[in-house]
Amino acid sequence: MADLLTELTEGARSDSRARESALPRDDVERAAHAAAPALDALTALAPADTVKIIAEVKRASPSRGDLADIPDPAQLAGRYTEGGASAISVLTEGRRFKGSLDDLSAVKAAVSVPVLRKDFISEPYQVYEARAAGADIILLIVAALEQPALRDLHALVLDLGMTPLVEAHTAEELDRALELDARLIGINARNLKTFELDRDLFGALSSTIPAGVIKVAESAVSGPDDVAHYRRAGADVVLVGEALVTSDPVTTLSSFLAV
């Protein structure tokens, strides 16, 4: 039986190929190159005296099922920026997270902060369509990719002017991310193969990330104490989804940023 990460990656690849059959890669490449330049995510997320938050538009997840009815992702993203989010993450995976590239395009048109395409990226077409839709940042999950493919996708993201957020869950995956000279690295507390959580994983791994790399803590955030826990462990940025879509986002963000 395939693990969840494999299932999600293969499903996202299949959906991407279906989109490619309707809109050929050459057309998407032209749209990507014609899009307005990507925003500088490294500056937006640079270390500061207070923690920074990437706030996520997230309707559902494999571990929790439906989380929130989000008829207007742009309106939610606007609330996030009102609350002080430094960037917006948009889940575009449709099968288990109920997102879409249309969500990303709508959010991009509504906010002035960088927008992250959060999906299970494994092919260049997905990178081009993300840029065409306005993505400034793209998630690359080390566990989902062999190193040559990870290296090629990382280079393509940079070539298109975007910022790769390279996500690791183990020391070996972190080493692979560092081999790329990645400038934005996420440590995900959630094992994407089993979807189990370990809030202490960030602290165990982040100490080996060199200076000059922006450190992002992902998952296992339900309240301000979790944000404070990650901040004490060295997080520059915390990515939050579920806790925001299931509460008043402005109030919740204010409590998170106060840590």
In the set 52, 58, 98, 108, the catalytic residue is 58
The yes-or-no answer on residue 242 being catalytic is no
Q: Is 58 a catalytic residue?
A: yes
Q: Point out the catalytic residue in the list 93, 129, 167, 242.
A: 167
Tokens 């992902």 identify what position? 218
Q: Note whether 119 and 93 are within 8 A (CB).
A: yes
How far is residue 204's CA from residue 98's CA, in Å, rounded to a whole number?
A: 32
82 catalytic residue (yes or no): no
Q: Which DSSP letter does residue 142 get?
A: G
Q: Which amino acid is at 141?
A: I
Rounded to an integer, what distance in angstroms lies between the CA atom of residue 55 and that of residue 240? 5
SS3 250: helix
- Joined together, the tokens standing for residue 88 give 């917006």
| Residue at 22: amino acid letter | A
Helix (H, G, I), strand (E, B) or coil at 21: helix
Q: Which residue has the tokens 């571990």?
A: 63
Rounded CA-CA distance 143/168 in Å is 7
Say whether 93 is catalytic. no
CA gap 227, 235 in Å, rounded: 9
Q: Is 98 a catalytic residue?
A: no
- Which is catalytic among the residues 16, 100, 206, 219? 219
Query: Quick check: is 219 catalytic?
Result: yes
Clarify whether 179 is annotated catalytic: no
Q: Which residues contact 211 (CB under 8 A, 6 or more apart)?
A: none
| Amino acid in the structure at residue 77 | A
Instruction: Name the catalytic one among 29, 56, 173, 242.
Output: 56
Q: Which of 188, 191, 206, 215 is catalytic?
A: 188
| Helices and strands, number each (H, E), in the chain | 12, 10
Measuring CA to CA, which residue among 108, 85, 96 is closest to residue 252?
Answer: 85
Catalytic residue among 108, 118, 129, 215: 118
- The residues that are catalytic are 56, 58, 118, 167, 188, 218-219
